[in-house]
Structure 1
Amino acid sequence: MIPIQLTLKNFLSYCDTTLDFRGLHTACICGSNGAGKSSLLEAITWAIWGESRAPSEDDVIHTGAKEVRVDFIFEANQQTYKVIRTRVRGGSGALEFQIQTPTGFRALTGKGIRATQDLILEHIKLDYDTFINSAYLRQGRADEFMLKRPTERKEILAELLKLNQYDELEERAKELSRQFKARAEELERLLDSLKSQLQQREATAQKQAELEGQINQLQQVQAFENIQLQSLQVVQHQRQNWEQQLSFVRQQYQNLTQDCDRLQQEHSAIDNQLSSLEELLTQEAEIKAGYNQYQILQSQEEAMGAKFEEHTRAQQARQQKQQQLTQQINEIERQLQHAEAQLAALQQQHQELQQTLSKSDEVEAALAQLAAARNRLAQMDQLQLQVAPLLQQRVTLQSQLNRAHAGLMARFEQLQATENQLQRQHRRQPQLQQAVIEVAMQISELEKKRVYLQRVQEKGQERRHLIERLQAHQRDFEKLLGELQQKLQMLQNPNAICPLCERSLDEHHWNRVVDKTKVEYKDAEDELWIVRERMAVSDREIQVLRQEYKEISQQLSPYDSLREQRGQLAAQLEVTSDVEQQLQQIVAEKQHLERSLQINDYAHDTHAELQQLEQYLQQLNYNEQDHALARNEVERWRWAEIRLSQIKDATKRQTQLAARKPEIEAQIAQLQTRIQQETTESECARQIAALERHMTEIGYVSEQHNNLRIAVRKTQAWELRYQQLVGIQQQYPQLKARLQELEVSLQARLTERQRYNLQIESIVQQLEESANPSAQIQTLEQQITSRRRQLDEQIAQLGRLQQQSHQLETLQIQYDQQQQQLQEAKRQHRIYQELSQAFGKNGIQALMIENVLPQLEAETNQLLSRLSANQLHVQFVTQRAGKSAKASKKNAKLIDTLDILIADARGTRAYETYSGGEAFRINFAIRLALAKLLAQRAGAALQLLIVDEGFGTQDAEGCDRLIAAINAIASDFACILTVTHMPHLKEAFQARIEVNKTQSGSQVRLMI
């Protein structure tokens, strides 16, 4: 990634700045502390990755601004890109990604910030962590890598190579291994439980066979008893049939008795009814004569009803026509009323217009007054135009005088307060001198304790280093004891071989080897006891030193506050030395101000200008009250213009009314004529007259109709009696026939009842002769019920045994399945256990480091040869032989490490023995090689290098070496930026980016 242009707007300390990187190869970003040098680098990382040192997203916005924007144009993979990132305070942000084409920049922005960010990473092939660990060389990272222990170096390298993902995979594999192990243990417990349950299958089968035999015996006994019960039930069923037949016959006998009684009652009723009908038949002639009279009257009433209906229809039609005629006449009358109202309105308007026209003379006089008032107002307006700026100027001058007076008063009050304060300070001078002496004495005592505290701290560090060395010795001796213990265990075997030469031992040599090993074991135990004793002593000394360090630190807690207090008191004391002279100056200035305020001896030009202005205003003689009276006079006579307009409108309106009045009068006469014609000659009037003549021709008389209705109602009873007569004539023969039928039926019922009586006597005799088996049946049913209950219990028990047997078969299937699951769980446990080992520190991670280190070593030596003129060479060693003090080389074990061997013309030496310049070159080469390696692993070329290795921590020679090293590797990079705040290093770089902080924000200036 090669920077081309960076534009900042309201980003951190910058308000509006643009920095062009074109033509820059090696440049220095310089400026004072806090000027904003690091903010330029923060702007690049924030624009591309949205990352910065700010704790929250809104903190990157410049103080007082509402939004921030950073535009960054850069080149990557031979393409030019542009990133624009913005954010609104308290709101959301936006991200745009563009690529340069022959016609300009084309948008590559995705749907949302996250999608656009993924596109940026896809094109530049560099994430934020890789960038700050590769392109950005931060202070202390190289030294930290070299000064760490060999095992810690591996951890740092793994962190830079992002091998922590394998740690996560290792933890996941361990977790799955533990889960499958727990699953296997659970399956083993379940299999043990199932195995104990399956052992009951034989006992269950034996019980099932015994129970099936008992059930068969019970079923046979129950079958015999059921046969006996069925024979008894047949006898009982026959007896029940006889009883039912007896009940039926008795019921039939009773029914026949009831029928005979009913028929006898019906015969008596019909006989009585025939007697009453014969009496009514004797009145037949009288009923027929009355019925004929009723029919005649009814026909006359129906004819009169037809006339009534026709008369009613004619009357309704006449009413409808009358309403229609009335509506037409009412419509014409409404038009007539409207025309008359218009005529009356015209007459009223004519009278009003006459009144308006009668005031024309008065309006002409008022117009003359209005013209005179307007002339006077125009003169006053012209005078006001001259006076208004003068009045405004007078107000301005008066304000200036007031401000000058207020300023003098404020200065006077300030001098008064300063005088009081200086007098108080003058009185406090002896107290301040005594306080300074006391604070200085306290600080001197505390500084002595600080020196002693530093000695305690150094002594504690020595003890901690000693404990670390003793712990290393302890581990060595513990390892040696383990090896010797293993040897002794091997020698306990009768056919033991020599642990060193692996040959068979005779008794003499076996004793020598055992004795020698025991002596070595005893010596190692003694040495281990000594080491532990020294560790315990050192621990006690450290505890004492910690307690002493804590007590002295508590005593030193007021040291900083006392130094600050001493500085404040010294500053106050220095200020009080010039108090007397300041008091004299303040008193003199106060007297001068007081005299100027009393005689207005200030702002002489303003006073003079104000006096001239007042004289000119008096000459103009402008009065605001007269101006207001002139305005009022104009307003008072403005009604004349309105009245003049009204007179003109009235004249025009009067002409229109004179032309309109004859039309309305003619319309009124025409409407009156139409009303008379509608009343007598219209179609509705003629139809009404025709309907009235038709009603007269019908000849309907309502009184005659009412008399007929009364006569019909009086003779209506003969109709009912005639209907009764006709019904009796029809009913009399039927009743005669029914009476004969009842006599025949009654005789037949009596005969049948006698037959049923004989059957009842026969059935009773048979029941008395046969025995009743109910008691035997009840006893036998109880026995069968009891045996059935016993059989049901045994069948239920057999069902439980069968179900248990089925469950055992299911358990057997489940047992087999869980056996297979157990084997699968164990297999998965072994697989994930092996995967956890493969993903661990000694697996893939170690293999990847082994593959990376040759590349790192080659890149480091290539850079180091250029920085040291082929005088220095570095070698990375990942394993070394480790053995105890008394173990042979053959039994030595390989220990994982990351040692760095450094060689020069005199041979291979420790890192600590090299000079500062040589050590710096080694550190710089290793750190730069790591940066290139990380960039290559990310899939991007390292074209940009930002060096912040801390010029401030280097001496002059160290700074020169750093600059020389940067220039030596400049050809490998497209752009190198260094950051410093030391002014004397500016000249060492041909191109400089100077950063200065101003009131309007940080500013950038490019010096080439």
Structure 2
Amino acid sequence: MIPIQLSLKNFLSYRDATLDFRGLHTACICGSNGAGKSSLLEAITWVIWGESRAASEDDVIQTGAKEVRVDFTFETNQQVYRVIRTRNRGSTSALEFQIETPKGLRAITAKGLRATQELIVEYIKLDYDTFINSAYLRQGRADEFMLKRPSERKEILAELLKLNQYDELEDRAKELSRQFKVRGEELKRSLESIKTQLQQRSETENQRRELEVQINQFQQQQALDNVELQSLQVVQHQRQNWEEQLNFVRQQLQNLTQDCDRLHQDESSIGVQLSQLTTILNRQAEIEAGYNEYQNLQSQEEAMSAKFEEYTRAGQIQQQKQQQLAKQVQALERQIQQGQAQLEALIQQERDIQQTLSKSNEVEVALEQLNAARNRLKYLDDLQLQVSPLLQQKATLQSQLDRVHAGIVAKIEQLQTTQHQLQHHSQRQGQLQQAVVDVATQIEEMEKTRVYLQRVQEKGQERRHFMERLQAQQREYERLLGELEQKLLMLQNPDAKCPLCERPLDEHHWNRVVDKTKLEYQDTEGQLWVFREQMAVSDREIQVLRQEYREVSQRLSCYDRLREHRGQLAAQLESSADAQQQLAELFAEQEKLERALQIGQYAPDTQNQLIQLEQHLQELNYNEQDHVLARSEVERWRWAEIKLSQIKEANKRQNQIAQRKPQLEAQIAQLETTIKQEQVNSECAREIAALDARIKEIGYDRETHSRLRGTLKQGQAWQLSYQQLQSAQQQYPQLQARAQELKAALQARLGEKQRLATQITDIVKQLEQTANPASQIQALEQKIASRRRQLDEYLSQLGRLEQLAHQLQTLQAQSEQQQEQLQNCRQQHRIHQELAQAFGKNGIQTLMIENVLPQLEAQTNNLLARLSANQLHVQFVTQKSTKRRSKKNAKLIDTLDILIADAKGTRSYETYSGGEAFRINFAIRLALAKLLAQRAGAALQLLIVDEGFGTQDAEGCDRLIAAINAIAPDFACILTVTHMPHLKEAFQARIEVNKTQQGSQIRLSV
């Protein structure tokens, strides 16, 4: 992947920035700590894979912003791509993927964020984990591989090579192997059970034939009884029809009796109503006279109500007109008040304006002082523009001199420290030799103890595996014991069936099954106690082994520290040999540096430039204090401009007031005249007077109207009597006709009643002549039902036997099928056992690591030769033999030791200095990067080194930079990140990052 252009908007510390990578081969990303150097690289991982160091997705959005957008254009496999990722705070992300064509960029975005992400990984052939472990050497992770123990290094290498997928395959193979084993045991037990059940087939067939003969005999007898029952049911049905007819006729007779009683009641009620209507009709003349008087009073009251409505309506209109006239007068009065208030305000403004105009002379004098102060300030501003770059250049030169001076002082202090160390080492050479011998003796004893500890550990693992097998067998026997207990509980019932075939058991078979089950229960229980005893013994042995392991481990706790101490002593012993020669060289160098400091003979070009700058500054004669005083003088007289603008505004306002005052006075006088005219001559006043005349003309009297309403209320009773009279005149003829109809209906009901009584007598005689076969039918039905129940029982037994026969036939087929399944399960169990071993740590994973390590070793040594001037060499060791007393008992164990050799021999990684250790780490890390990229199917065209110079001395930095330049032809783009200012000069192309109030800013220097 070769970067082309990166655009950032609101990403972490960047508000709006764009970086063009075109023409960059090896470049340095430099800036102070926290400026945003690493954030620039995090943007690349976020836009392509959506991954960054932020805890949540919204954390990549700059504080205060609502959205983030990163646009990245890059080339891979000679094809240009563009990825755009955006996100709104608290919402979802959006991802767009484009490819360059002869017609321009074309979108190939898939449906959905996840599908587009998978498409990007497919095109560039790199996922996030592979990228950060190959092309991106992140902060603090260069020595991660070397600082781990040998066993952990192998795990890290397996993780980087993504061999953990084989661990998942191993677990799946083990699980499938276990499942096939359990399934095989289940099939084996099932086949034994089926074999027992198939032995019952002949006995079942004999029972079925006997039941079929008995069923045929019962069905013939049942057919004869059914014919006899049908003949008796015909006679009973005829008798039931006569009884139903008798009940029906009796019900009709009862209904006729009820109708006669109801007709007698209706006839009496109509007679009472006719007498009441006759009384009302006799008062006809009196009622009509009273009703006529009531109508006359009602007419008078309606006329009086019409006058009342007209009187009320005129009063309401008069009141509305009076309110309207009052509102008009009030509106005019408010206008007068507003005009008077405006007039008073204008008078007050005239007074204020006169006070402002009285200060005109004082303001003119102050303006002259202000112009003079501004001319002085302009002169000093121009002078400052000339002096500022000179002062900045002076500070830079002085800073450079201070850095050189500090560097010389630090070098002298370092030389003095080194001298003291060399003197101390040369004095301690004899002590170091004795200490090396003592430590070697202790390490040899410790290694013997480690061998014994390994034996204790192996024995403990053996005991644990044995306990795991015992626990599995114990669970199996506990399950079998539970099944036997369930069978014994089922057999306690006297009518219990066989637990296997569910066939009814006679007493002999029941005893056999119970005895056999109890015997199996006792055997199983005894075996279970044996397992528990063995587990208790094994547990005690494991406790003893654990205690011994802890004691031996405690004695071995200082083993690694002793080995490290031995390496340090060996390094000190080797370095003390050349101490005298180094001391002489160091004394000479220290004397030369001290003489240079005393006479100031260092950085002569910088000192000459500083002297010239100081002379030029003296000629310009710029004083910062005079500049400050000039600014304060301008501020002191700035009030004159404000006062001048106030005077101009006052003159303008005075002319406006002179024009406005006569207008307001004339307006107030006109409004007072209008109020007087509205109260007398307006249209509203004339309408009020006309309404007064109309109210008098209506002549409505409230007391007369009230008396008329009381008289009318007393005459309302005649209206009710008149309505009753009209109703009586209509109802009287109808009631007379209804009385005649009721009398005729009563006579008809009496004749029908006599006919029904004669019909009942005839039906009773017919029933007495017909016999009742109910007892015979009941006895015959009981006999048929009893035989039917017995027949159902036989049919049920036949069905169970046929079902059992069918089940046995199915079991025969199932037995053959399960035989094949059992063979298949055993085969699959063996296959997956072998697969689990192949996928395990000692299988494919070890083989792949063994194949990869030679490539890694060759790449590492090739790079390390460039970094150390062919002084360092690395070797990876994957197996080593344990130290035993006898060579025959020596055993190879898996490890991943890293042997490092230099001009003085092979020694441990911990004894190397920080610079040398980093070069080794860098070479191994870069070799891993190339290897991972090759395995991913992508060429490693981009290399990012984040903070790789912090532990290097001057010579180490030069070699590292030289090595980067040496491997530059292997890469299309190399980006290094550092915060050390003096190192950025080693790179021709620099990407400088600065933190400002507007966010991080990027500046490219080539």
TM-score band, normalised by shorter chain: 0.3 to 0.5
Which of structures 1 and 2 has the bigger CA Rg?
1
